[in-house]
Structure 1
Amino acid sequence: MAQDQEVCVVMVPFLAQGHLNQLLHLSRLISAYKLPVHFLGGTTHIRQAKHRVHGWDPLVVSNIHFHDFPIPTFANSSPNPDHSTTRFPNQLVPSFKSAMHLREPFLKLISDLATTTKRIVIIHDYLMSSVVQDYSNFPNSEVYLFQPCSAFTTFWFHWEETKTLELDDENESLRAKLPSTEGCYSDEFLELMHSANASYKKLNNSGTLYDTSKVFEEKYLELLKNEKLKTGASKNWAVGPFNPVTITDRKNASTESIKLLNWLDEQQPNSVIYVSFGTTVSLTVEEAKEIATGLEESGVKFIWVVREADKVDIFDGESNRKVELPEGYEERVEKSGVGVVVRGWAPQLDILGHPSTGGFMSHCGWNSCTEGISMGVPIAAWPMHSDQPRNALLITNVLGTAIYAREWEQRDKKVDASMVSDVVRRLMVSEEGCAMRKKAEELGVAVRRSVEEGGIMHKELEDFVAQITRG
């Protein structure tokens, strides 16, 4: 392609699993427009992103190019929830700080691309603002912010900082229920956020991309657009859900995943609850045992992903700590057909998209929220840290497709098996739960339709591609 016709996209994700996953999925969407996409990160984290992505295979997309760079070594510590004062995965912060050393490799990559490319489009995670700051050295480059949170959560963070927008009655009511940020982040991570914010303010962003949909967040996208807060541009695009919304086949699934999905095939429609707290949450010994008992006592069939939160390098040996369950529990529930305990990586999209899955107990990370929403599955919300408490408020009080398993204000109270059992039954077999499931299914259909040609998400994506490929 001639130089004056060429456009390339450079993705600069933050190095936590949820953020890596989002921009890798976005790379798939943009690469479908025959645009070369360059995905930049630390060596271990690029490997992690490719290893864990599900719903498609990044290795068969010829115009996604991975650039993995070494970053300084750091302590590869494991989580220790039994002796921690916060749920936040503080063991990962050293690697997050080391990621700031990607600034020089980023500059070298942009410098190389600038000589052969008419326009370089840089899409960067908010937390990587300091890494991309040298883009302005190249007149043929432009930068777009990727906001990894929901528009709802982003709006409230902005509003609390500025209070420039007068709230309507609905949002005044929501403000009274807004979870505090106390306990959401560690002090070390807050320092990193403040540093990122200082760099972000210096960037001349051309607009903001959200992993969300106007189907369910149009109001908050419009509020953010009107605020024009610190982005330097009022334009935003809701090009989510980034994740695939249809699962085509199982040919690339692992043996363990196929066994799990075959078990689901044998269950009744909407009869199984899927329980997973993501990659950054570790349960204490006591919590794990109470949840185990509660799931079994509920009488509802379940798939439970029981794994430690990520350590810095997920490929560097086994975790020092294995989640302990009651003696004989795993064998007993599997033999009886009541449930399946998964110790490794689970094919979450396949599970949520399966007709036998009728509920999802989740920590409410935004990836899990969008996957649950797009697959039409109601959620039992159990927020643990970061943006999760506010995501939980969105899906419970605004969308009405979730109930609380545990509200943020109750986070320090002892987990009790009866609480878990009651929540599972409420979501899965009560009239309230059935009505919520119907609402979730209807929202899922609308979201999936939005991705099709002519749908609102498809139009947003086309609009963004037209922006970056303009003449």
Structure 2
Amino acid sequence: MTNHQDNQNHSQNGLRVNRQEEEVVVVMVPFPAQGHLNQLLQLSRLILSYNIPFHYVGAASHNHQAKLRVHGWNPRISFNIHFHDFEIPPILSPLLDPNEECKFPSHLQPCFDVLKRLRAPLAQLLRALSSQARRLIVIHDSMMGSAIQEVRLIPSVESYCFHSVSAFAVYLYIWETMGNSVEANDVIPKDIPSLEGCFTNEFLDSIAFEYDYRKFNSGFIYNTCRLIEGASMDLLERVTVAENIKNWALGPFNPVIIPQNNSSNSRNFCLEWLDKQASDSVIYVSFGTTSTMNNEQIKEIAFGLKQSNQKFIWALRDADKGDVFNGEERRAELPIGYEDSVKDMGFIVREWAPQLEILAHPATGGFMSHCGWNSCMESISMGVPIGAWPMHSDQPRNTVLITQVLKVGIVVRHWAHRQEIVTSNMVETAVKRLMGCKEGDEMRKKAAEYGSKVRQSMGEGGVSRLEFDSFIAHITR
């Protein structure tokens, strides 16, 4: 029996339970991009801690991807978890062209469009689950509202919209959608980047289409903490109060304490390499799962890291395809002999990198990042400052939050210069600012303070824990 078949049987068995056991059931409906899949699976882990069963739904390949890549816990051995693998047509999985002017992953649009096929099987599943539960709670990605629109027709069902980006970015989007201009104040800095170049027009149309379904929601959920985005959460509550919408800051979703795993059989080689490095001496370089760089830019990064004389781990991979298990992957080219020339100072990871464990490692002192929100929250919760290099989507505005509001990072490449190659000298300068001078030390200290507070917020009596307790009390009322 395959893993997918086993999961399907597990899900079907999960439906055959009595009403007493299924007081409240939660269904997770993620959007099929890694940063979205991961956040809702990590949220599921937190809900499980309250002994509430949940069902995670999606295409078989995306469910498998989420389970395979999650860090900090193992959903495959958890009780009360049910994965539903829906059949969808084969997904076109082209590679992202590294020379495209707009860096948004337009190659994933065929995958996003296929998800419209989930509406019917989702409705069938929700009706079946609702008949066996006092209340069914559906938590869906903000880009999946149309797929669960039948919830308004099913008794005893409530839906909550999960925003995969920062509260800061959501507030700006809602404010602009209401026809307002963004003006600097105590919360919003000057010169907020526009959305120009952040998305394709096709995806902007998808956002606008899904936005209409928010009116069916009972609340909005964010992977953030009021200790770092309290002001943005307050602004969001002001603009949604007329709709009687509750906003919940339930993050960080990722584990904030990483179990020690000293087994060399299951530990990634890069972690063993980190064990040999001094505290705060390594910069981790990764640009997420939806960015692809051309060979010229990769070459400049390579030489910039070498010139910095700074220890580094570089996760060098292309953007994910619609189906990450199907077909060939482009292998990024490094200068001939480069890996041998940096073997004493750098470690290059070509496969999936254990990002959360890398950021949690005491040897890691900085993170050169695209500033995707999942990466931002992981970095903040582990107390690691960021060298921000935004690529698309919400990342330019997250960069403002990280560098100007929280002041736990520097800008590597300004959004206004997004069409320009970042030279090796610019990379070298950024690495030295973050890792080798007083400015970086101060940011590291501030990031460590945020990390400590955020981790404490998830403990008994902490801000995030109390908010999560309040959310659970609300959905189980």
TM-score if structure 1 supplies the norm length?
0.94
Residue 198 of structure 2: which of 184, 197, 200 is its match? 184
Aligned length, in residue pairs: 460
Shift of 1:73: 2.1
In the alignment, which residue of structure 1 is the partner of 2:334?
325
Change (3 A) 1:165 1:221: farther
In the alignment, which residue of structure 1 is the partner of 2:125?
109
Q: What amino acid does structure 2 have at the position aligned with 1:466?
A: A
Change (3 A) 1:133 1:251: farther
Shift of 1:328: 1.1
Shift of 1:169: 3.2
TM-score if structure 2 supplies the norm length?
0.93
In the alignment, which residue of structure 2 is the partner of 1:193?
207
Shift of 1:85: 2.2
Shift of 1:182: 0.6
Change (3 A) 1:121 1:390: same
Q: Secondary structure, in 3 states, of the residue corresponding to 1:169?
A: coil
Does residue 1:24 correspond to 2:34, yes or no?
A: no
Once residues 169 and 304 of structure 1 are traced to their aligned partners in structure 2, the CA distance between those partners, rounded to angstroms, is: 37
**Unpaired runs of at least 5, structure 2:** 1-16
Q: Secondary structure, in 3 states, of the residue corresponding to 1:86?
A: coil
Q: Is the 8 A contact 1:226 1:234 kept in 2?
A: no
Shift of 1:165: 9.8
In the alignment, which residue of structure 1 is the partner of 2:428?
421
Once the two structures are superposed, residues 146-174 of structure 1 have per-residue CA deviations (whole angstroms, 9 ceiling, x without a partner) of 111101111111112225699673246x1
In the alignment, which residue of structure 1 is the partner of 2:405?
398
Once the two structures are superposed, residues 366-397 of structure 1 have per-residue CA deviations (whole angstroms, 9 ceiling, x without a partner) of 00000000000000000000000000100100
**Unpaired runs of at least 5, structure 1:** none
Change (3 A) 1:253 1:352: farther
Q: Secondary structure, in 3 states, of the residue corresponding to 1:66?
A: strand
Once the two structures are superposed, residues 283-315 of structure 1 have per-residue CA deviations (whole angstroms, 9 ceiling, x without a partner) of 111000000000000010000000010011111
Shift of 1:2: 5.9
Once residues 168 and 413 of structure 1 are traced to their aligned partners in structure 2, the CA distance between those partners, rounded to angstroms, is: 28
In the alignment, which residue of structure 2 is the partner of 1:225?
237
Q: What amino acid does structure 2 have at the position aligned with 1:288?
A: I
Change (3 A) 1:260 1:168: closer
State which drifts further: 141-150 or 271-280. Answer: 141-150
Does residue 1:289 correspond to 2:289, yes or no?
A: no
Once residues 118 and 245 of structure 2 are traced to their aligned partners in structure 1, the CA distance between those partners, rounded to angstroms, is: 29
Q: Pairwise mapping of residues 38-53 of structure 1 onto structure 2 (< 5 A)? A: 38-53=55-70
Residue 288 of structure 2: which of 278, 287, 295 is its match? 278
In the alignment, which residue of structure 2 is the partner of 1:263?
273
Once the two structures are superposed, residues 295-353 of structure 1 have per-residue CA deviations (whole angstroms, 9 ceiling, x without a partner) of 0000100000000100111111331x21111001112212xx11001101011011000
Change (3 A) 1:152 1:332: same
Q: What amino acid does structure 1 have at the position aligned with 2:198?
A: C
Once residues 30 and 164 of structure 1 are traced to their aligned partners in structure 2, the CA distance between those partners, rounded to angstroms, is: 37
In the alignment, which residue of structure 2 is the partner of 1:385?
392
Q: Secondary structure, in 3 states, of the residue corresponding to 2:55?
A: strand
In the alignment, which residue of structure 1 is the partner of 2:174?
158
Q: Percent identity?
A: 49
Q: What amino acid does structure 1 have at the position aligned with 2:66?
A: A
Q: Secondary structure, in 3 states, of the residue corresponding to 2:413?
A: coil
Q: What amino acid does structure 2 have at the position aligned with 1:235?
A: K
Shift of 1:138: 1.2
Q: What is the root-mean-square deviation in Å for CA atoms of aligned residues?
A: 1.7
Shift of 1:249: 2.1
